[in-house]
A and B are shown apart, each in its own frame.
Chain A
Amino acid sequence: MREILSAEFKSRLEALELALRRTLPAPWRGERRAANRKGISLEFSDHRNYSAGDDVRHLDWAGYARLDQLMIKVYHDEEDLQIHVLVDDSASMNFGEPSKALFARQVAAALVWIGLSSSHRTSLAMLGDSVDLCPRSIGRAAAPRFFEKLASPPREGRTPLAKLVEKYVADVKPRGLVFLISDFFDRAGPKAVMKPLEHPSRELNVVHVLAADEVRAPEGGDFKFKDSETGHIVEVNLSPSLVDAYEKTVKKFVAETAEVCRRRGSKSIFVPSDSPLEDFCLRTLVREGMLR
Chain B
Amino acid sequence: MTPFLLVEFGSPMGLWVGAAALPIIVFFMLRRRLEERVIGSTMLWQKALEETPARASWRRPQEWLSLLLLLLAIAAAALAAGDFRFGFAGGDQGAVVVVIDVSASMSAVSDGKSRFEIARDGARKIVDALRSGRKVELIAAGLRPRVLSHATEDGAALMAILDRLTIEPTKEDLRAAIDLAVREAAHVMTETKTAEIVVFSDFATPPETFRDLESEGIPVRFVACGGDEKNTGIVQIAGIGEGDDVSVVATVATNSKTDESRRVVLLKDGETVDAQDIVVPADGRGAAVFRLRPDKSGPVRYSIALEPKDALAIDDVVYFGTSPRPPARAVIVSEPDSFLDRLPDVFPDVEWQRVAPADAATIAAAVDRPFDLAIVADAVTTPIPATRELWIGPCPDGAGWTPNGQLVHPPMLDWATGHPALRGVGFEDLQIVASTSFAIPEEGTTALVRVDGGAVFVTTTQKDREIYWWATAVRDSNWPLIPAFPLVIRNLLAGRLGAFSVDHQKTDAALRVPAGLDRLKGSIAFSAVSPAGKKETADLWFREDFFWPGAPEVGHFSFTAKSSAGDESVRREVGVSLSSEPETLTLPSLPEATAVGKNVAVTDAAGFSASRPLWRWLIAIATIALLLEAWVWLRR
B42 in contact with A225 (CB, 8 Å): yes
B30-58 to A contact mask, C-beta < 8 Å, 1/0: 01001111111111111111011001000
Tell me, yes or no, whether A245 is within 8 Å of chain B by CB.
yes
Say whether A92 contacts B40, CB under 8 Å.
Answer: yes
- Take A224-B35, A242-B52 as given contacts and tell me if A96 and B42 are in contact as well, using a CB distance cutoff of 8 Å: no
Q: In the complex, A248 Cα to B1 Cα: how many Å?
A: 70
A61 within 8 A of partner (CB):
no
Per the 8 Å Cβ criterion, residues 117-133 of A in contact with B are none
Given known pairs A233-B42, A234-B42, A237-B59, the reply for A223 and B37 (CB within 8 Å) is: yes
Between A and B, 26 residue pairs with Cβ closer than 8 Å are: A92-B41, A183-B41, A214-B39, A214-B40, A214-B44, A221-B35, A223-B35, A224-B34, A224-B35, A224-B36, A225-B38, A225-B39, A227-B38, A227-B40, A228-B40, A233-B36, A233-B42, A234-B45, A235-B34, A236-B49, A237-B63, A242-B52, A246-B48, A249-B47, A249-B48, A253-B44
- Please give, as numbers and ranges, the residues of chain B lying within 8 Å of A249 by CB-CB distance: 44, 47-48, 51
Least CB distance, B475 to chain A, in whole angstroms: 115
B residues within 8 A CB of A211?
40
Which of A95, A229, A239, A249 neighbours the largest number of chain B CB atoms within 10 Å of its CB?
A249
Interface flag for A38 (CB, 8 Å): no
For window 238-253 of chain A, which residues contact chain B by CB distance below 8 Å?
239, 241-242, 245-246, 248-250, 253
Q: Are A239 and B636 in contact (CB under 8 A)?
A: yes
Contact A245 B51 (CB under 8 A): yes
Known A229-B41, A249-B44; further 20 A-B contacts with Cβ < 8 A: A91-B40, A92-B40, A183-B40, A185-B43, A211-B40, A222-B35, A224-B35, A225-B38, A225-B45, A226-B37, A226-B38, A226-B42, A228-B40, A234-B46, A235-B60, A237-B63, A241-B55, A242-B55, A248-B48, A253-B47
B59:A228 contact, CB within 8 angstroms: no
Complex CA gap A253/B40 in Å reads 15
Report the minimum CB–CB distance from A234 to chain B (whole Å). 5
Q: Taking beta carbons and an 8 Å cutoff, which residues of B are in contact with A?
A: 31, 34-49, 51-52, 55, 59-60, 63, 636
Which A residues touch B45, using CB under 8 A? 225, 234, 236, 246
Cα–Cα, bound, A253→B42 (Å): 13
- A93 to B41 CA separation, bound complex (whole angstroms): 9
For residue A247, which residue of chain B has the nearest CB? B48
Given A239-B636, A246-B48, A249-B48, A96–B37 Cβ distance below 8 Å? Answer: no
Q: Is A187 an interface residue (CB 8 A)?
A: yes
User: Which chain A residues border B42 with CB–CB below 8 Å?
Assistant: 225-227, 230, 232-234
Contact B39 A226 (CB under 8 A): yes
- Beyond A237-B636, A239-B55, A242-B52, whether A250 also contacts B44 by CB under 8 A is yes
Give the secondary structure class of B's interface: helix
Give bound CA distance, A241 to B37, whole Å: 21
Residue numbers in A under 8 Å from B40 (CB-CB)? 91-96, 100, 183, 185, 211, 214, 227-228
CA distance A246 to B46 in the complex (A): 9
Interface string of A70-95 (1 = CB under 8 A from B): 00000000000000000000011111
Q: List the 6 closest A-B pairs by CB distance, nearest first.
A: A95-B40, A185-B41, A92-B40, A246-B48, A245-B51, A227-B42
Q: Which residues of B contact A183 (CB under 8 A)?
A: 40-41
Contact with B along A193-214 (1 / 0, CB 8 A): 0000000000000000001011
| Bound Cα distance A239, B60 (Å) | 13
Residue of chain B at shortest CB distance from A235: B34
A263–B354 Cα distance when bound, in Å, is 151
Q: Would you call A242 and B39 a contact (CB within 8 A)?
A: no
Q: How far is the CB of B533 from the nearest CB of chain A, in Å?
A: 81
List of B residues within 8 angstroms of A234 by Cβ: 42, 45-46, 49
Q: Out of A222, A228, A250, which one reaches B39, CB within 8 Å?
A: A228
| A246-B44 in contact (CB<8A) | yes
Rounded to whole Å, the gap between the CB of A93 and the closest CB of chain B is 7
Interface size, chain A (Cβ < 8 Å): 38
On chain B, the residues within 8 Å of A230 by CB distance are: 42
Q: How many A-B residue pairs have CB under 8 A?
A: 95
- The reply to whether A248 and B51 contact each other, CB–CB distance below 8 Å, is yes
Give Cα distance in the complex from A214 to B40, angstroms. Answer: 8
With a cutoff of 8 Å between Cβ atoms, the chain B residues found around residue A187 in the complex are 43
Chain B residues with CB below 8 A from A229, complex form: 41
Per-position contact with B for A95-139: 1 when CB-CB < 8 Å, else 0? 110001000000000000000000000000000000000000000
A residues apposed to B, CB below 8 Å: 91-96, 100, 183, 185, 187, 211, 213-214, 221-230, 232-237, 239, 241-242, 245-246, 248-250, 253
Complex-state Cα separation, A213 to B34, whole angstroms: 19
Whole-angstrom distance between the alpha carbons of A222 and B46 in the complex?
15
Task: Tell me how far the C-beta of A270 lies from the nearest C-beta in chain B, rounded to whole angstroms.
Answer: 14
Q: Residue on B with the closest CB to A185?
A: B41
Q: Which of B36, B40, B42, B55 has the most CB of A within 10 A?
A: B40
List chain B residues, Cβ under 8 A from A224.
34-37
Cβ of B29 to closest chain A Cβ, rounded Å: 13
Q: Closest CB-CB distance, B7 to chain A, in whole Å? A: 39
Cβ of A96 to closest chain B Cβ, rounded Å: 7
Measured CB to CB, the nearest residue on chain B to A91 is B40
Closest CB-CB distance, B45 to chain A, in whole Å? 5
B44 contacts across to A, CB distance below 8 A = 214, 246, 249-250, 253
CA distance A232 to B49 in the complex (A): 14
How far, in angstroms, from A221 to B31 measured CA to CA in the complex?
9
A242 touches B34 (CB 8 A): no
Complex Cα–Cα for A250 and B40 (A): 13
Are B36 and A226 in contact, CB atoms less than 8 angstroms apart? Answer: yes
* A227–B41 touching, CB < 8 Å: yes
- Please give the distance in Å from A164's CB to the nearest CB on chain B: 16
Of B36, B42, B636, most A-chain CB atoms within 10 Å: B42
Q: How far is the CA of A233 from the CA of B478 in the complex (A)?
A: 122
A268 and B48 alpha carbons, distance in the complex (Å): 24
Complex: chain B residue closest to A250, CB-CB: B44
CB neighbours (8 Å) of A92 from chain B are 40-41
Q: Contacts of A228 on B, CB cut-off 8 Å?
A: 38-41
Q: Which chain B residue has the least Cβ–Cβ distance from A218?
A: B37
Residues of chain A contacted by B60 (CB below 8 angstroms) = 235
- Residue among B38, B55, B59, B63 having the largest count of chain A Cβ atoms under 10 Å: B38
- How far does the Cβ of B10 sit from chain A's closest Cβ, in whole Å? 41
**Residues of chain A with a CB closer than 8 A to B63's CB:** 237
* Cα distance, A232 to B42, chains bound together (Å): 7
Q: Which of A213, A229, A230, A242 has the most CB of B within 10 A?
A: A242
Question: Please, which residues of chain B bring their CB within 8 A of the CB of A235?
Answer: 34, 60
Contacts of B34 in A (CB 8 A): 222-224, 235
| Residues of chain B lying within 8 A (CB to CB) of residue A233 | 36, 42
- B-chain residues with CB within 8 Å of residue A213 when the two chains form the complex: 39
A37 to B43, CA, bound (A): 48
Residue of A nearest to B60 (CB): A235
Cβ-closest chain B residue relative to A221: B35
Bound Cα distance A249, B51 (Å):
9
Residues of A within 8 A of B36 (CB): 223-226, 233
Complex: A249 Cα to B47 Cα, angstroms: 7
> A240 CA to B623 CA in the complex, in Å?
27
Q: How far is the CA of A231 from the CA of B594 in the complex (A)?
A: 69
Decide: A245 and B48 in contact? CB cutoff 8 A: yes
Give the chain B neighbours of A246 by CB distance below 8 A: 44-45, 48
- Contact, CB under 8 Å: A241 / B59: no
Most buried by B among A95, A225, A248, A249: A225
A223 and B45 alpha carbons, distance in the complex (Å): 11
Among B37, B48, B636, max chain A CB count under 10 A is at B48
Cα separation A227 to B44 with both chains bound (whole Å): 11
A217 and B190 alpha carbons, distance in the complex (Å): 79
Could you tell me the distance between the alpha carbons of A237 and B34 in the complex, rounded to whole angstroms?
Answer: 9
Q: Which residue of B lies closest to A229 (CB)?
A: B41
Quote the shortest CB–CB distance from B184 to chain A (angstroms).
67
- Could you say which residues of chain A place their CB within 8 Å of the CB of B46? 232, 234
